[in-house]
Structures are given as structure tokens and as C-alpha cells.
Structure 1
Amino acid sequence: MTDKAAARLARATPEPVAKRIRGLSDRAIAWIFVAPTIFLLLSINIFPLIWTIRLSFTNFAANKPNAQVQWVGLRNYTRILTDADTWANMQTTAHFLIWTITFQVLIGFSLAWLINRKFKGNDLVTTLIVIPMMLSPAVVGNFWTFLYQPQIGLVNYAVEFLTGIPADSFSMLGPGGWARWAIVIVDTWMWTPFVMLICLAGLRSIPDYIYEAAEVDRASKWRQFWTITLPMALPFLMLAVLFRGIENFRMFDLVVLLTGGGPGDETLLASIDLKREAFEKWRTGYSSAYAIILFVTVFGLASIYVKALNKVKER
């Protein structure tokens, strides 16, 4: 802003307002700008959390607003933590988390390492690889549902080629344990580019002179990878695992679009089970306790993981 523009703006400000502004301290002006953000955070995040905690100790049902609400204490939490179906859903969620993160880290880091070598057509290949993560889950879900169809699905014919199982004798989205792996494949295809970009940033942050010094010491490429590349890219790898772990723990839309939470309970993740309890069975108090347990689980694991990440960065 030029001096003339600033002068015109000052003249346009009413004198009473100008006097009040000139009388404010820097701290007061800072609070004026920060206050709307704090208010939004309190109203959108903090208040619903406090309200959910309160509801978790009651038998409140959202479809019966006029019914008497009873205080049940820790009964909802006890029922959830002693329910065998809840633990089965947690195991399904853990299966999904472990395998998707494993595949995404291995494939994503490998792609980042290859792209970092800067070959001809590098930019085009990078653009093509990141396309899946730009698509919405609705598009990805419908696209892969088509690929998984028993009659025309390309995935079924690929499985037939690899295993000899006839393509029309099974469905990737049907019973038999295939549905879990179908979701793992789709999520890996969609979000591996995200992990690749984070790993690529880590690889390109390593100074070239470190590799030059290693070559002077006659270190092999394999030793350079294990003593330079991997240790220096490890914080970025761990950051990618943190982001994908939090995101996949609350995975909902992609699973519902592909399987609807079925067949049976094979793909019934904890987030889908929470949705059923809240909006199909209308056990609002029970589902509130369920949500708090999931929140504490994610928050606790993430806190421990962040401490480990900080220790790796300090090395």
C-alpha cells in the first residue's frame, strides 16, 4: 500500500473510530483478529465434544426427544468395552489400518525413490501417479465397484490369471474374506500418491554433498541407502504414517460406497459401526460413548507416536 493510499484510507476512517483504534494496544488489536477464530473453534469443535461427553453418560435417543433422559453413569462405556462385536470391529479396523499403511509406505517410498532420480518424462509420470488422490471417494468407489463386478470386472480376471480361480465363480465384494482385501487395494491405489509426495519431499531435502562424501569413502549404493537415505527420510515416512493412520482409522465413505459395510461383518469398521448405532439404531447416548472411546484411542496413539517422531527428528 502506497503512502497516498494509506493517507486516503486514514481520512476515510471516521474520527471517533480512528481515536479508538489509536488507543488500542498491539495485544488488543491481536485479540480482535484472533477472537473470531477462537469463537469458531469453541462453537464447532469444543462445545460438541463437551456435549458428546455429557450425552455418553445418559440413555438419550435422538429419535425420542420428548422421552425422559436418564443418567446411566459408566454403563454405556462398560457395555462397549465388554461387547465381543465391538472388539471384532476393532480387529477389522486394525487389519485395514495395518495393511493399507504397509502397502502405501512401501509402494509410496519406492515410487518417490524412483522419481527422485530425475529421468526423462519425470514430471509427466509424477502427474499421472498423483491423479488418484485428486478424485473424490464417490468417483473412486463407483469406479472400483465396476472393476470388481464378477462378470466384467478386470480384477476378477487378474485373480484368475494369478491363482487359476474362475473369474465368474467369486466376487471381490462378496463373502470369503475377499471384501477386506478389496478395500485395502482401493485405498492403497488412491492414497499411495499422497505418501509418495511426502517421501519425495524428504528425499529431496537430503543435501547432495552427503552422497558425494559417501562416494569419496567408496560406500556402495546399498550402504548409502541404509546409512543416508533411509535415516534422513525416516521423519517424513513417519509423518506419512501418522497422517494416513488417523485418516484410515475414521475411514467411512469409501467402504460404504464399495460394500455398504458388508458382506456380513467382514468390512464393518469401527466408524461404520458407530454410524449404525447413532443413525440406524438411534442409541445416541451409547454411540456418544463409542465416539469418545474412539477419540481417546486415536488421540492417545497419536500422542505417543508424535513423541517418537520428535525423538527421531532430534537425532
Structure 2
Amino acid sequence: MSESPITRMAEATPQPLARKVRGLSDRAIAWIFVAPTIFLLLAVNIFPLIWTINLSFTNFKANRPNREVEYIGLRNYERILTDSDIWLSMQATAHFLFWTIFFQVLIGFTLAWLINKKFKGNDLWTTIIVLPMMLSPAVVGNFWTFLYQPQIGLFNYVVAFFTGADPSSFEMLGSVQLAPWAIVIVDTWMWTPFVMLICLAGLRSIPDYIYEAAEIDRASKWRQFWTITVPMVMPFLMLAVLFRGIENFKMFDLVVQLTGGGPGSTTELASINLKREAFEKWRTGYSSAFAIILFVTVFGLASIYVKALNKVKDR
């Protein structure tokens, strides 16, 4: 009978090393395996965060590395919190967050509820619906830019069909009023399938016997929906909102692909404003303070939300 690979490896291990390994506790061996991951996390995440906090208290500019760095205390934070352009970008971000999450949850849950009925061709339609989230933001941005073109955009002709107006008169991406909604439509189209999949997992986790018991008690379909389906899917819905909220708060690539961050301040989200301060104006210390404010905002809101999510799960 041939020896197993593990046995051959044990026999090939030098005796001094084998004696040292045998002398280690399980806790020590666990730390040996975990240590490289912890080191990478410290190098990739923790160190840049600490360095950014340090730069936020200075007037450092990355395009002038030889310039003497001066520590200016909380002056960068004061300028940010009193800058009207910053607050306009935060308002644009809040508008984008609210409407994208609202439409994605509404449409995603509806699609999940329909697909959960297990009709003929269920798997095919699920695959087709999921396709948009498999595309990169660059591809989606270019694709929808063509759809929004005044002369050849298919979307403009659809709008003109329902309104009876000239399709060439629509300037979705060039309009201050319509550009934010154009971005909301694209993000909803791309990421609704993600919310749908999470809601579908929640719907399929509900045991059938609960609905059977409700039918025995003569509960209507509407009452079953509000007293069984919605409460049991709610933790999954809240989880989807958490994921999409964090991702959309730092949305950058899709907006730049569609509008370049303009026009004006209507589509200049906080992440785009941060990029402009850091890599166009080269105000590294100022942008570092802005990044810390955004990080604290996201972390704080996410922590509060997670506590609410845990309360819902414990019910």
C-alpha cells in the first residue's frame, strides 16, 4: 500500500525542524499561518490610513515634494466643513444614494419575487437579468453614453415616443436637471440584479411549512406577504442596502465615463470632488483631510446601520 503525500512530506522534513514544529502549540501554529495575512493588511490598509491622517494636518502637495511641509493643525478640516462646493457635492452624493438604492431595492425585490415562482424558463431569465452586473463600469458607461446621444441615442427615441417631442431636443447628459437622473438609471440597470440575487436567497430561505400553516389559518396572500415574506426577507434587503450604499457612496468610474463629473455640481459626487482636489489641484493635505471625513462618515453610518440590522435579525 503506497504512502500518502502527507506521510512522505513528514518523512522528508528535517529532524531538527520536525522537533521544533512538534514543540509548538496549536495557537502558535495558527499565528504562523495568520501572520502573513495580518502583515499584508497592515501594509496595504492600516499604514496608508495612518499616513493619510498624518498628511491631513499638513499643507503637503504631491507635485512639490521638495517644498517644506508645514503642520497646520485642523485648518484643512475647517476649510472643508465651511466650503460650499463640498456641501453641494455631498448633497449630490446623497441624492444619488437615495434614488439608486430606492429603485434597486424596489425593482430587485420585485424581480426576485417573480423569479421565485419557479415558472418555465426560470433559469434562463435569471441568467439574462444578471448579465448587466457582469460588465465592467467602463463598458456600461460607454454603452449608455451612446444610448443617451441626442442624434442616435435609442433612449431619446423612447422618450420622444411617449412625449411626442423631437428626440434630438433631449440632452440627458448635458442637462443640469436630467444628468443626475441619467446616472441613476444606468446604476439601477447595472446593479439591480445584485439586489435581486440577495432577495432571491432570502425568499428561498423561507420554509414552505410557514406558508402552509398560514393557509390553514385562512390567511390571504396579501397578509402572508406582509406578515411572513417581508419580515423574513428584511435582513437580506437591509444587507443589500448596506452593500450598495457603501459602493455608491464611493461611486466614481461610472459617473466619469458618462459625464466626466459635470455639468456644474449636479453630478460632481464627493468621490469626484476628492479626485479633483488630489490629482488636479494637487492639494494633497487638503484632499487627505477630505478623505478622512468621508471615511469617518461611511464608517459611522455603516456602524449604526449594522446595529439596526442585528436588531432586525434577532427578532
Q: TM-score of the superposition, structure 1-length normalised?
A: 0.98
1:160-180 alpha-carbon deviations (Å, 9 max, x no partner)? 122333210121110231110
1:23 maps to what in 2? 23
2:74 maps to what in 1? 74
Q: Please give the alpha-carbon distance, in whole angstroms, between the structure 2 residues aligned to 1:189 and 1:262.
A: 21
1:237 maps to what in 2? 237
Q: Please give the alpha-carbon distance, in whole angstroms, between the structure 1 residues aligned to 2:129 and 2:172.
A: 24
Give the drift of 1:19. Answer: 1.6
Give the drift of 1:129. Answer: 0.2
Give the drift of 1:280. Answer: 0.4
Give 1:125-204 correspondences, 5 Å limit.
125-204=125-204
Q: Which 4+ runs in 1 deviate beyond 2 A?
A: 2-7, 162-165
1:47 maps to what in 2? 47
Q: Please give the alpha-carbon distance, in whole angstroms, between the structure 1 residues aligned to 2:165 and 2:78.
A: 45
1:108-149 alpha-carbon deviations (Å, 9 max, x no partner)? 000000000000000000000000000011110111011111
Amino acid at match of 1:28: A
Amino acid at match of 1:76: N
* In the alignment, structure 1 residue 297 sits paired with structure 2 residue 273: no
Moved more, 258-267 or 246-255: 258-267
User: Is the contact made by 2:132 and 2:190 (CA closer than 8 Å) also made in structure 1?
Assistant: yes
Give the drift of 1:42. Answer: 0.4
Q: Please give the alpha-carbon distance, in whole angstroms, between the structure 1 residues aligned to 2:280 and 2:156.
A: 33
Q: Please give the alpha-carbon distance, in whole angstroms, between the structure 2 residues aligned to 1:281 and 1:252.
A: 18
* In the alignment, structure 1 residue 61 sits paired with structure 2 residue 61: yes
Q: Please give the alpha-carbon distance, in whole angstroms, between the structure 2 residues aligned to 1:11 and 1:95.
A: 65
Give the drift of 1:288. Answer: 0.2
User: Is the contact made by 2:176 and 2:264 (CA closer than 8 Å) also made in structure 1?
Assistant: no
Amino acid at match of 2:309: L
Q: Please give the alpha-carbon distance, in whole angstroms, between the structure 2 residues aligned to 1:20 and 1:277.
A: 54
Q: Please give the alpha-carbon distance, in whole angstroms, between the structure 2 residues aligned to 1:89 and 1:287.
A: 14
Amino acid at match of 1:186: V
Give the drift of 1:264. Answer: 2.1
2:267 maps to what in 1? 267
Give the drift of 1:3. Answer: 5.3
Amino acid at match of 2:121: G
Q: Please give the alpha-carbon distance, in whole angstroms, between the structure 2 residues aligned to 1:285 and 1:127.
A: 46
What percent identity do the matched residue pairs reach? 80
Q: Please give the alpha-carbon distance, in whole angstroms, between the structure 1 residues aligned to 2:156 and 2:305.
A: 38
Q: Please give the alpha-carbon distance, in whole angstroms, between the structure 2 residues aligned to 1:228 and 1:262.
A: 45
1:8 maps to what in 2? 8
Q: Please give the alpha-carbon distance, in whole angstroms, between the structure 2 residues aligned to 1:170 and 1:8.
A: 73
What SS does the aligned partner of 1:144 have? helix
Give the drift of 1:153. Answer: 0.3
What SS does the aligned partner of 2:298 have? helix
1:59-104 alpha-carbon deviations (Å, 9 max, x no partner)? 0000000001111100000000011111110000001000000000
Give the drift of 1:289. Answer: 0.3
Give the drift of 1:157. Answer: 1.0
Q: Please give the alpha-carbon distance, in whole angstroms, between the structure 1 residues aligned to 2:295 and 2:165.
A: 42
Give the drift of 1:265. Answer: 2.0
1:308 maps to what in 2? 308
Structure 1 residues not aligned, in runs of 5+: none
1:34 maps to what in 2? 34
1:223 maps to what in 2? 223
Amino acid at match of 1:152: I
Give the drift of 1:4. Answer: 3.6
Amino acid at match of 2:301: L
Work out the number of aligned pairs and report it. 314
Give the drift of 1:41. Answer: 0.4
Q: TM-score of the superposition, structure 2-length normalised?
A: 0.98
RMSD: 1.0
Amino acid at match of 1:158: V
1:213 maps to what in 2? 213
